[in-house]
Amino acid sequence: MLIVAIDTDNLQVAEELVDKLVSVVKIFKVGSQLFTACGPQVLQMITQKGAQVFLDLKFHDIPHTVSHAVEAACRYNPLMLTIHTLGGSQMLRAAVAGRNHAGSSTKLLGVTILTSLDKGQLEEIGLSASVNEEVLCLAQMAQGAGLDGVVASPQEAGLLRPSLGKDFIIVCPGIRPSGPMDDDQRRTMQAKNAIAAGADYLVVGRPITQSPDPLAAANKILEEIV
Ligand code: C5P
């Protein structure tokens, strides 16, 4: 299933994009840029048009703060919400408690290792295991803490699926067309290969939003994955 990341700081630009795509895209990702700039009204705009929200705020703080932040975010009833697994298992359990306290059915997803990081950058921050080892360790910890799924690179989906089982959600950003795109993403894959590797949802931003024809770009990806 395709999720389009609306990374802009302008509500009107976001709304125009949703209007162009909502006939074929049913989930839109709101990240820190759009939420910080426009606030909760952007979530209302998306749901009023009949689509669902993936609220990607990547919470990473002490357990008490994360628990309350999750509880507050769940009041907007997003389909999915992200938390950084590097915050540790206590923080992840606090996030689950916050969601449950809100009486919400929002799916909590743990971000593993950002798709923009490669081995060299992991070493720079003192993580010496391979990317695969780090991602698997974090994903297993997220599952043990009661999260519903993880966000990981499509390059790790094939490794995660057998270990996490078929019901654990795997969301993959870092989706790129076959030709090179000179941007910050590092661990990328084409849409059809990501689905074949075990991804449930693909998050695509710039290949669609920066395209001269976003609807055609979305349809091209949808054709690849059905
Ligand atoms: O434009 P692009 O397709 O790279 O957008 C990917 C989106 O997914 C961005 O909004 C980014 O914040 C998000 N994301 C990511 N890697 C993660 C988690 C989220 O790229 N591990």
Pocket test for ligand 1, best of 7, 34, 153, 155 (most atoms within 8 A of CB): 7
For the whole model, what pTM was predicted? 0.95
Ligand 1 centre and the CA of 205: distance in Å?
A: 7
Nearest protein CA to atom 3 of ligand 1, as residue: 205
* The two three-digit tokens of residue 174, written as one number: 């870092």
Judge whether residue 180 has pLDDT over 60.
no
Contact 134, 109 (CB under 8 A): no
Mark whether 58 is an active-site residue: yes
pLDDT band at 181 (very low <50, low <70, confident <90, very high): low
78 lines ligand 1 (CB under 6 A): no
Judge whether residue 91 has pLDDT over 70.
yes
Q: Which residue has the higher pLDDT, 188 or 168?
A: 168
Catalytic member of 20, 26, 49, 58 = 58
33 lines ligand 1 (CB under 6 A): no
Q: Which domains are assigned to the chain?
A: 2-225 (3.20.20.70)
Ligand 1 centre and the CA of 165: distance in Å?
A: 24
pLDDT at 182: 73
pLDDT digits (tens, 9 = 90+) for 14-71: 999 999 999 999 999 999 999 999 999 999 999 999 999 999 999 999 999 999 999 9
47 lines ligand 1 (CB under 6 A): no
150 lines ligand 1 (CB under 6 A): no
pLDDT at 115: 86
Nearest protein CA to atom 15 of ligand 1, as residue: 173
